[in-house]
């Protein structure tokens, strides 16, 4: 029975969802390993990554409930929604008011209710003679210019970085009181693309320096309430720019920050809070569903060495797609994540090279009749993947009339081949250079497999051409997002800690003789450049055939990996990397309405 112990803030852990008793049966290799049933030689040395059991308790999950959600909530939310819709239409609002409202709606996590209206407002002002718009109230206002720039680019409209020239002419002479302008400039600079020359290097560096100065010179003791608030915003922005943040966590934070503003719109706060709780209640039901599925597969139980991380796998999914109407997509993607995590551990930890070769062949052949060719401990795992892929394929054949099974199974074979390559490198001591490593590692991080599945279940209409380019690894935006995922992961899952193959940092060090710190900073620059690639695809490039909404979810995976690995290996050791708190705040702790 799970007992309640305070591991952190009492508020966060008060509902006994977090287990504190360790279950030795899942953990110690010496206890009855359910997978040892005679087909494995006891002489084979098996590795262990020493992953801890899940911190979450399934039976407690099943009783999760948001106490603020009841029969009246949806009605109350919908009334407020109409009030907010009128605000968007209100002709009395200035152009800047409108931009700020759109930004607030997005940050408060409620823009999904008004997507068409928002897209329309932006499209109309983008295509208008922008000089007229700008003359109204934007020109010479740094905050307004930067906000408009960021919103346009976020929505796929290209605006030249030259709009900042007028401000940068006397660079260094920015009014330091215009701290809001600087925050907006800093945030806008993260929308840089590879064809910009000023945004990343000059403008971002400049804005970052100015914001750091602000934090250093405002110690908070002599500031009034308002500048305290601003300082909190600057610290938050420097910690991670808004554009890179996992959307839902940014929302949870912004609900509190916006709610403290003296000029807030009360209807908007109320709306955002109720909506957050309603969405949380939906998440809870989805989580119960996938957690039950995971328990029923018995994989967490059988493969004791693998990470048992269904809640974290669901959390990844929220990062990728937070809109509650996509429940089915979220459930499927969580299952895919859980299976990838398990298989990654079979390759990285437990399997012998010979076994892993058989496993890879099984995925390539995709023949359920040859299940018994596999070592016993691999059979259940292969069969669960096989069945899930067929269930997805069957649903899609019924609803979209395309047989996607060939694409899905290829994506499993490809990720397994990439896993196998790394296992071979490890076992033969091969040290690839960074380029050779990355060619394999952007696939072995599993993102391409995730996106093939995601594309199939998420898109209303499927294009064979897109399926082909995705499975042939030809989509730049996928490669860039996968690279961010890989590099962010490498920064915190070091070979020293886990006995993994050399990762990007070690490859670069081996190749160039650089120090670890230099290698880390090189990898961080690679992350910046991958973002520039993604932004380029989103803004400047239209030949990818990818829908804007799909591209958005591709970028969300990069955001999610920067969230999961911000303070350590949040997927492997969630309790050591602030992920338990983050999960609690999104999935279990309601926003107080009292």
Q: Please report, as ranges, the residues that interact with ligand 0FV according to CB under 6 A.
A: 313, 316, 337, 340-341, 344, 348, 444-446, 450, 489, 493, 571
- Residue bearing tokens 């920067």: 562
Residues 6+ apart with CB under 8 A from 497: none
| Pick 167 or 508: Cβ nearer Mn ion | 508
Q: How many CA atoms lie within 13 A of 511 on its CB side?
A: 18
Query: Which of 459, 489 has the CB closer to Mn ion?
Result: 489
Side-chain half-sphere CA neighbours of 429 within 13 A: 0
Concatenating the DSSP letter of every residue in 520-566 gives: HHHHHHHHHHHHHHHHHHHHT--TT---HHHHHHHHHHHHHHHHHTT
Alpha-carbon distance of 372 to 504, in angstroms, equals 37
Which listed option, ligand 0FV, Mn ion, none, makes contact with residue 316 (CB within 5 to 8 Å by class)?
Answer: ligand 0FV
Q: How many CB atoms lie within 10 A of CB 39?
A: 12
Nearest residue to 473 via CA among 500, 444, 436, 497: 444
CB of 423 to ligand 0FV, least distance (A): 10
Contact 397, 391 (CB under 8 A): no
Choice between 420 and 591, CB closer to Mn ion: 420
What is the nearest approach in angstroms of ligand 0FV to the Cβ of residue 52? 14
Q: What is the C-alpha radius of gyration for the chain, rounded to an integer number of angstroms?
A: 25
- Min dist CB 334 to Mn ion, Å, is 19
Residue with smaller CB distance to Mn ion, 196 or 490: 490
- Nearer of residues 109 and 502 to ligand 0FV, judged by Cβ: 502
Phi, psi angle pair for 56, to nearest 5° = -100, 145
By a kind-dependent CB cut-off of 5 to 8 A, residue 337 interacts, out of ligand 0FV, Mn ion, none, with ligand 0FV
**For residues 469 and 474, what is the distance between their CA atoms, to the nearest angstrom?**
5
Q: How far apart are CB 348 and ligand 0FV at their closest, in Å?
A: 5
Residues near Mn ion (CB under 5 A) are: 344, 348, 489, 493
106 makes contact, choosing from Mn ion, ligand 0FV, none, with CB < 5 to 8 Å by partner type, with none
The answer to whether the Cα torsion of 207, 106, 486, 239 is positive or negative is: positive
CB closer to ligand 0FV, 396 vs 564 = 564
Cβ contacts of residue 509 below 8 Å, gap of 6+? Answer: 515, 516, 519
CB 203 within 8 A of CB 164: yes
- In the list ligand 0FV, Mn ion, none, the entry touching 275 (Cβ below 5 to 8 angstroms by class) is none
> Which entry of Mn ion, ligand 0FV, none binds 331, CB below 5 to 8 A by partner kind?
none
CB of 430 to ligand 0FV, least distance (A): 16
With CB under 5 to 8 Å by kind, the binding choice for 341 among ligand 0FV, Mn ion, none is ligand 0FV
Residue 553 touches which of Mn ion, ligand 0FV, none (CB < 5 to 8 A by kind)?
A: none
Binds 200: which of ligand 0FV, Mn ion, none (CB < 5-8 Å by kind): none
Cα–Cα distances (Å) from 82 to 79, 228, 267, in that order, read: 5, 33, 10
Q: How far is the CB of 548 from Mn ion (least distance, A)?
A: 5
Residue 360 binds which one of Mn ion, ligand 0FV, none, with CB within 5 to 8 A depending on kind? none
Cα 163 to Cα 421: distance, rounded to the nearest angstrom = 47
- The residue (of 27 and 95) whose beta carbon lies closer to ligand 0FV is 27
Task: Return the one option of ligand 0FV, Mn ion, none that residue 445 interacts with (CB less than 5 to 8 A, by type).
Answer: ligand 0FV
Residues in the chain: 594
SS3 of residue 56 by DSSP: strand
The minimum distance between CB 91 and ligand 0FV, in angstroms, equals 45
Give the angle subtended at the CA of 417 by the CAs of 411 and 422, to the nearest 5°. Answer: 130
User: Smallest gap, in angstroms, from Cβ of residue 540 to ligand 0FV?
Assistant: 28
Judged by beta carbon, residue 267 or residue 552, the one nearer Mn ion is 552
Q: Please, what is the minimum distance in Å from the beta carbon of residue 480 to ligand 0FV? A: 16
Q: Quick count: other Cβ atoms within 10 Å of Cβ 554?
A: 26
481 binding partner (options ligand 0FV, Mn ion, none; Cβ < 5 to 8 Å by kind): none
User: For Mn ion, which is the closer residue by CB, 277 or 493?
Assistant: 493
Which residues are within 8 A (CB) of 362 and not within 5 positions of it... i.e. 6 or more apart? 370, 371, 373, 374, 378, 382
The distance of closest approach from Cβ of residue 179 to Mn ion in the complex, given in angstroms and rounded to an integer, is 29
Residue where the block lists tokens 């931009």: 99
Nearer to ligand 0FV, 159 or 445 (CB): 445
> At closest approach, how far in Å is the CB of 501 from ligand 0FV?
8
Closer Cβ to ligand 0FV, 284 or 313, answer by number = 313
């Amino acid at each position: 029975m799970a007992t309640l112990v305070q591991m952190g803030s009492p508020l966060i852990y008060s509902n006994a969802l977090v287990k504190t008793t360790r279950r030795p049966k899942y953990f110690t290799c010496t206890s009855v390993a359910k997978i040892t049933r005679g087909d494995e030689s006891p002489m084979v040395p098996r590795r262990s990554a020493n992953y801890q059991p899940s911190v979450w308790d399934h039976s407690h999950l099943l009783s999760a409930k948001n106490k603020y959600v009841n029969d009246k909530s949806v009605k109350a939310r919908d009334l407020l929604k109409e009030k907010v819709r009128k605000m968007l239409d209100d002709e009395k609002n200035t152009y800047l008011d409108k931009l700020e409202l759109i930004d607030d709606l997005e940050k408060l996590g409620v823009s999904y209710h008004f997507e068409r209206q928002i897209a329309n407002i932006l499209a109309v002002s983008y295509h208008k003679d922008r000089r007229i718009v700008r003359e109204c109230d934007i020109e010479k206002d740094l905050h307004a210019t930067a906000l408009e720039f960021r919103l346009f680019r976020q929505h796929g409209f290209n605006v030249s970085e030259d709009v900042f020239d007028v401000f940068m002419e006397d660079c260094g002479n920015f009014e330091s009181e215009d701290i809001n302008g600087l925050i907006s400039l800093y945030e806008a600079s993260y929308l840089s693309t590879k064809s910009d020359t000023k945004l990343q290097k000059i403008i971002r560096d400049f804005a970052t320096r100015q914001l750091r100065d602000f934090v250093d010179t405002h110690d908070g003791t002599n500031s009034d309430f308002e500048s305290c608030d601003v300082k909190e915003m600057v610290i938050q922005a420097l910690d991670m720019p808004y554009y890179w943040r996992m959307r839902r966590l940014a929302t949870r934070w912004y609900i509190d920050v916006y709610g403290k503003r003296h000029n807030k719109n009360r209807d908007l706060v109320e709306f955002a809070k109720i909506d957050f709780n309603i969405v949380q209640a939906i998440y809870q039901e989805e989580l119960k569903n996938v957690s039950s599925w995971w328990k029923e597969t018995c994989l967490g139980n059988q493969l004791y060495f693998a990470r048992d991380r269904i809640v974290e796998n669901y959390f990844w999914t929220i990062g990728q797609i937070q809109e509650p109407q996509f429940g089915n997509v979220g459930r499927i993607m969580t299952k895919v994540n859980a299976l990838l995590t398990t298989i990654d551990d079979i390759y990285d930890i437990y399997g012998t090279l010979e076994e892993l070769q058989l496993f890879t062949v099984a995925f390539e052949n995709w023949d359920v009749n040859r299940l018994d060719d596999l070592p016993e401990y691999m059979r259940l795992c292969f069969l669960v993947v096989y069945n899930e892929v067929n269930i997805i394929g069957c649903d899609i054949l019924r609803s979209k009339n395309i047989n996607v099974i060939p694409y899905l199974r290829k994506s499993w074979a490809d990720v397994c081949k990439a896993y196998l390559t790394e296992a071979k490198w490890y076992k033969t001591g091969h040290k690839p250079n960074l380029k050779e490593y990355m060619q394999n590692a952007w696939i072995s991080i599993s993102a391409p497999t995730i996106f093939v599945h995601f594309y199939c279940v998420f898109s209303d209409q499927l294009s064979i051409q897109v399926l082909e380019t995705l499975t042939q690894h030809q989509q730049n935006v996928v490669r860039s997002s996968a690279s961010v995922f890989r590099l962010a992961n490498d920064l915190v899952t070091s070979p020293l800690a886990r006995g993994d193959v050399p990762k990007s940092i070690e490859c670069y060090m081996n190749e160039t003789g650089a120090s670890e710190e230099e290698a880390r900073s090189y990898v961080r620059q690679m992350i910046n450049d991958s973002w520039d690639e993604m932004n380029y695809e989103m803004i400047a490039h239209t030949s990818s055939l990818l829908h804007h909404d799909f591209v958005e979810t591709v970028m969300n995976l990069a955001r999610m990996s920067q969230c999961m690995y911000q303070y350590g290996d949040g997927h492997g050791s969630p309790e050591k990397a602030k992920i338990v708190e983050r999960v609690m705040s999104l999935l279990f702790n309601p926003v107080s309405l009292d």
